[in-house]
Amino acid sequence: MRIICLLFAMLQGLMAQPLTMLPKQALVPCGQTLQLRIPGQDPKAFRWQADRGTVDESGLFTAPGQYGPCRINATDWQDVNRTVSVEIRAVEIRLQSSPELVLKPREEGRIQVELAFRGGELDRKLLWAYGKRQSEDDAAGAAPPMPHEGRVDATGWVRAPSEEGVYPVEIVLATDPRIRTVTLLRVFRPRPGRVNPQGDPVSVRVQPDKSECRAGEHQSFSATVIGADLELVAWSIAAGPKDGELDPQGVFRTPQPGKYRIRATSIAYPECWAEAEVTVESSVKSVKEEEATKANRLGITIVPGPRQTYVILGGWDGEQISGEVLLHDSMAGTFQPCGALQVPRARSLAVPLSDGTVLVVGGIGGKGSTPLRDAERLDPERKVSWRVGAPKWFHIGGLLQPLPGGSALLLGGHEPQGQPCGAEVFDPATAAFRTVDERPWPVHAASVRLKDGRVLILGGELNQKPVAVLWSFDPGKGTFTPFGKLAQARSRFTATLLWDEKELVAIGGRGAQGALATAERIDLAKGLSSPAGRMPAPRERHAAILIPTGQILVFGGGDGPRASKTMEDWNPDSGTFQVRSQMGIGVWLPVLFLNLDGGVFVQGLPEDNLAKNPLPGIWRLWD
């Protein structure tokens, strides 16, 4: 009996021991599986659950199709108090390499690889080897050496074998052998002349032979080699302005307008080639002259209006500050009168409220460009405006963001004498502002509004010094909470939410030492910042907008006395910038707005027109 009691006590002791699930942390590619286990336990004795993805009774977890954290719980069927959980991160990983690399015997070259990753931090080390390993457990050294004195090093640099043939090279992600790709190394000796061994002529044909596209767009070409036993070609730009790009698959792209000749040369018979002509037009298209002149005013404010239109408020027309309001239909390219403001103003702050009206605050007015401390509301449908209560501060260089229920947050900026301003909220029920925070808030900060109603405030300047702190405003509680820091203090920058609203990207601006070319990506759940690439040149006082492709378009602004004349886009997959177009114009303080068809319109001050005519224009940026 004593032995039975002792065994029972030991069993209870074992059951009371804390449970551990392994692995405790892991990254799993979206859609792939990971075997979880509880040491010393039968997995079928537990009820497995996952908040994202799926997990079966054996603990086999399948990651969801969207990247992000996943929590997996296991609960003892016999004792619900015995439970254990881990957090696994589903990540998006894409490893691609050029399908083929063609070299002459003993020639050297590099295999091009793209590794895109989202959802966590990744060790990007790659393993390179000749041949294809039979299992995921094989080490890189298990593959045989490349024959005929060929070799591939740890960076993808290849020395071709001395004999013709096709040699597979496999690339594997070191931390996850399931992620792999193969490039075929084709070694080929070029043939002299334009006739094959059978006496037939060899020729090359390129399609399309003539084409047109806009700067920044991609134009694909295909080539056919007739009479050769190897149909591969080498692509090159035979003529045209600089900055053109042509990849090994014949896809052409350039930011520079002009005429280009694209050449395809037979690899087997280098004396045989053909060319195509492509005319590249500017990415900028002016709105109709007779319509655009209606909006040719400095310091206008543009906000979304009813039925996919835009409301254009005030501005300076070259002689006086205007109170005119225009309704712009970007699809039709028309500008229609939409009433007038109670007070003519330029450089005002304005936001659309939830009831369809527009709240307009401050700006400058009068003959001497006097700062205004007032507010009014505009109904674009009824074409009427009316005065509302004035804010406590001027908020020059401040922020205005809509809040749920028709209210709005007015924050930061400075007084005419330079003193920083606090924060206040517009209450539609009382048509007045109420103070919610007396402390000084930055000037020239950035802000974004989330779907849950919160407003995020980022960076800016205090006492003429850039700051890095990030704040979150909760409209329900009326409180501000710090939630992180920028990696680099900055002001006069852009902050753009990505489509999933889990991250935002801060681009450019002014730092402690001048204009910045850097960008950073901020995880809104953790308040953590990570590098997000670098622009070719610094920018401040620019604009950025998220376009339907998921990229962020960056336009205008610059560094020093000259505005940038390039348009760039930021790729969320690679975290890098690429010049989309050479615009031919530099624009300060642009305003970007998106059209229904995906086109982007811009309004701003063309730098080159300052001496002749200090009036802005409205252009369409074709993407």
Span 334-358, pLDDT tens digits: 788 999 999 999 999 999 999 999 9
Mean pLDDT of 371-388: 96
The phi-psi region of residue 561 (left if phi > 0; otherwise alpha if psi is between -120 and 50; otherwise beta) is: alpha
CB distance 255 to 282 below 8 Å: no
| 282/277 Cα distance (integer angstroms) | 17
Task: Select from 3.40.50.2000, 2.60.40.1080, 3.40.50.2300, 2.30.40.10 the CATH code of 98-187.
Answer: 2.60.40.1080
Residue 620: the pLDDT is 65
CB distance 158 to 111 below 8 Å: yes
| 312/335 Cα distance (integer angstroms) | 9
CB distance 64 to 70 below 8 Å: yes
Judge whether residue 11 has pLDDT over 80.
Answer: no
Question: Interior CA angle at 345 toward 340 and 346, to 5°?
Answer: 120
Q: How many residues can be counted in the chain? A: 623
Judge whether residue 369 has pLDDT over 70.
Answer: yes
| 443/465 Cα distance (integer angstroms) | 10
Judge whether residue 295 has pLDDT over 80.
Answer: no
| 327/147 Cα distance (integer angstroms) | 71
Chain centre to alpha carbon of residue 167: 37
CB distance 505 to 569 below 8 Å: no
Mean pLDDT of 286-307: 69
Chain centre to alpha carbon of residue 320: 39
Residue 560: the pLDDT is 77
Calculated CA dihedral for residues 460, 359, 542, 292, nearest 10 degrees: -170
DSSP state of 24: S
Residue 86 identity (one-letter amino acid): V
Higher pLDDT, 413 or 138: 413
DSSP state of 18: P
Q: Does domain 287-532 have CATH number 1.10.1060.10?
A: no
Ranges of each domain in the chain: 19-92, 98-187, 203-281, 287-532
DSSP collapsed to 3 states, 490-533: CECCEEEECCCCCEEEEECCEECCEEEEEEEEEECCCCEEEEEE
Categorize the per-residue pLDDT at 122 as very low, low, confident or very high, splitting at 50, 70 and 90: confident
Tokens for 163, please give them. Answer: 């004999």
| 176/26 Cα distance (integer angstroms) | 11
Residue carrying the six token digits 């206008």: 300
CATH topology of domain 19-92: Immunoglobulin-like (2.60.40)
Judge whether residue 140 has pLDDT over 50.
Answer: no
| 623/360 Cα distance (integer angstroms) | 31
Mean pLDDT of 170-174: 90
| 248/103 Cα distance (integer angstroms) | 13
CB distance 86 to 72 below 8 Å: yes
| 409/447 Cα distance (integer angstroms) | 11
| 186/189 Cα distance (integer angstroms) | 10
Judge whether residue 289 has pLDDT over 50.
Answer: no
Helix (H) or strand (E) holding 3: helix 2-16
Judge whether residue 6 has pLDDT over 80.
Answer: no
Phi/psi of residue 608, each to 5°?
-70, -15
- Give the DSSP per-residue string, 116-145: EEESS-----EEEEEB--SSTT--GGGSPP
Mean pLDDT of 474-489: 94
Phi/psi of residue 551, each to 5°?
-85, 160
Q: How many C-beta atoms surround the C-beta of residue 112 within 10 A?
A: 13
Residue 159: the pLDDT is 95
Helix (H) or strand (E) holding 390: none
Q: 19-92 and 203-281: same fold?
A: yes
| 486/528 Cα distance (integer angstroms) | 8
Residue 371: the pLDDT is 95
CB distance 405 to 374 below 8 Å: no
| Longest Cα–Cα distance in the chain | 107
CA distances from 280 to 244, 260, 392 (A): 10, 8, 53
Mean pLDDT of 110-122: 81
CB distance 282 to 257 below 8 Å: yes
Which of 84-93, 137-146, 575-584 shows the lowest per-residue confidence on average (mean pLDDT)? 137-146
Tokens for 129, please give them. Answer: 């080897």
Judge whether residue 475 has pLDDT over 50.
Answer: yes
> Coil, helix or strand for 16?
helix
Categorize the per-residue pLDDT at 118 as very low, low, confident or very high, splitting at 50, 70 and 90: confident
The neighbouring-strand residues paired with 182 are 170
| 294/333 Cα distance (integer angstroms) | 12
| 449/261 Cα distance (integer angstroms) | 47
Tokens for 374, please give them. Answer: 């007032």
Give the list of residues 6+ apart from residue 57 with CB closer than 8 angstroms, or none.
43, 44, 48
Of all residues in the chain, the percent with pLDDT exceeding 90 is: 56
Residue 213: the pLDDT is 87
Helix (H) or strand (E) holding 602: strand 600-606
Judge whether residue 534 has pLDDT over 60.
Answer: yes
Categorize the per-residue pLDDT at 132 as very low, low, confident or very high, splitting at 50, 70 and 90: low
Mean pLDDT of 403-416: 96
Residue 134: the pLDDT is 40
Task: Name the residue among 95, 29, 27, 36 with its Cα closest to residue 64.
Answer: 29
**Could you report the per-residue pLDDT of 596-618, keeping only the tens digit for each?**
666 677 776 666 544 444 445 56
Determine how β-strand 408-411 pairs with β-strand 375-379: unpaired
**Could you report the per-residue pLDDT of 219-244, keeping only the tens digit for each?**
999 999 999 888 889 999 999 887 78
- Give the DSSP per-residue string, 292-343: HGGG--BT-EEEE-SSS-EEEE--B-SSSB--EEEEEETTTTEEEEEEE-SS
Task: Select from 3.40.1030.10, 1.10.1370.30, 3.40.50.1370, 2.60.40.10 the CATH code of 203-281.
Answer: 2.60.40.10
Task: Name the residue among 302, 384, 292, 301 with its Cα closest to residue 338.
Answer: 384
Which of 162-166, 215-219, 457-461, 482-486 shows the lowest per-residue confidence on average (mean pLDDT)? 215-219
CA distances from 28 to 128, 176, 488 (A): 22, 9, 31
Judge whether residue 115 has pLDDT over 90.
Answer: no
CB distance 221 to 235 below 8 Å: yes
Residue 605 identity (one-letter amino acid): L
Judge whether residue 447 has pLDDT over 90.
Answer: yes
